[in-house]
Amino acid sequence: MNTEILKIDTYVQKPELLQPFAQMIKSGELVAFPTETVYGLGADATNANAVKKIFEVKNRPANNPLIAHISDISTLDAITKNIPAEFETLFSSFWPGALTVVLDKKEIIPDVVCAGGSTVAVRCPSHPIANELIRLSGVPVVAPSANLSTKPSPTRFEHVYDDLYGKIAGIIDGGECEIGIESTVIVKIGHNAVKILRPGAITKKMLNEKGFEVQIDEHVLAAVSNGEKVASPGMLHKHYAPKAQMVLVRGNDDKVIEYIRKTASESNDIGVLCFDNEQKLFGESVCLSYGNPDNPTSLSHNLFNALREFDKTDIKKIYARVIPPEGIGLGIYNRMLRAANFNVVAV
């Protein structure tokens, strides 16, 4: 298939350039586009055949539902019902932005979007390209991360190109995604109470500050055991995985560094996912930094790119430095746990 590519400066809005891509979405084709979290693979959320193409192209399990993206809150009523009044605070505080809410769906959203369930996850992205593309399409746009299933989510144009070029109608190159991990997904569990199903840049503390009690789903930090029921099917599937086996190393800095240094020196096919200025500590190993632990958003911004960089090398095992699972660190740690298939060494 011919894939149309458009490179566009995020900060210069050129709606006329987006028009042909909006047209592709309207006519049931797939378009990948940048958002503030990760690149999304978009299709008309009201067109079941278009949505099916997403599952085919990504090789995504059919029981993992999609997020419907809207360009402004006025569309929310058209696709969902029973919207809790208290969510108004969340919409006015965090939309457009990296918050996804699970709500009761209306008929217009076909079953394939929601894996047959009665709810639909909705997000209003803040990225100007994403927002304008959705507005021009005139329909809600489902958009999972624009990667092949199981691979690290795409945060740069090159990642999307590597996974999907030749398989979809269009890719919009808007440079690097600022946040770098996917949105926070929440669901109402009581009056002024929500549960975080997937942690992201909108943190527990930020939701607390808006007057909400917040539970963190147990599967954010724990593997799902066989046959266990989950609140969000995304928790069931293999995710974000680099080719090499990853091991997270937790503990105090000196001990962690010593453990990784010693282990890495015993073999020549080990890589280290480290912090800035640590490369020199690990001798001959392939070391890639994903940022500065004092600035956690630098870590979320670079994480998936670093995992994809390791895929270009021959290393068989990656030892990774981690930050505590707090604030946006919870989202980062959640993605790394899955990428490592819950392989953690505490030293």
Please report whether residue 145 would count as binding Mg ion according to CB under 5 A: yes
State the binding partner of 183 from Mg ion, ligand TXA, none, CB within 5 to 8 A by kind: ligand TXA
Q: Among 127, 151, 198, 301, indicate the residue that binds ligand TXA (CB under 6 A).
A: 198
**CB 122 to ligand TXA: min, Å:** 9
- x-marked contacts with ligand TXA along 221-250 as a string, rule CB under 6 A: -----------xxx----------------
**CA-atom Rg of the chain in angstroms:** 20
CA nearest to 67, candidates 32, 41, 47: 41
Please report whether residue 37 would count as binding ligand TXA according to CB under 6 A: yes
State the binding partner of 195 from ligand TXA, Mg ion, none, CB within 5 to 8 A by kind: none
Please report whether residue 129 would count as binding ligand TXA according to CB under 6 A: no
Burial class (CB in 10 A: 0-12, 13-18, 19+), 86: middle
Determine which helix (DSSP H) or strand (DSSP E) holds 86, and give its type and residue range: none
Please report whether residue 289 would count as binding Mg ion according to CB under 5 A: no
**Contacts of 313 by beta carbon, 8 Å cutoff, 6+ apart:** 271, 286
Please report whether residue 285 would count as binding Mg ion according to CB under 5 A: no
d(CA 164, CA 168): 6
* Comparison of 67 and 196: residue with beta carbon closer to ligand TXA: 67
* Comparison of 195 and 321: residue with beta carbon closer to ligand TXA: 195
Determine which helix (DSSP H) or strand (DSSP E) holds 174, and give its type and residue range: none
**CB 225 to ligand TXA: min, Å:** 18
Q: Are 198 and 184 in contact (CB under 8 A)?
A: yes
* Single-letter amino acid, residue 308: R
**CB 24 to ligand TXA: min, Å:** 17
Q: Which residues bind ligand TXA (CB under 6 A)?
A: 35, 37-38, 40, 64-67, 100, 102, 114, 117, 119-121, 123, 125, 143-145, 182-183, 185, 197-198, 232-234
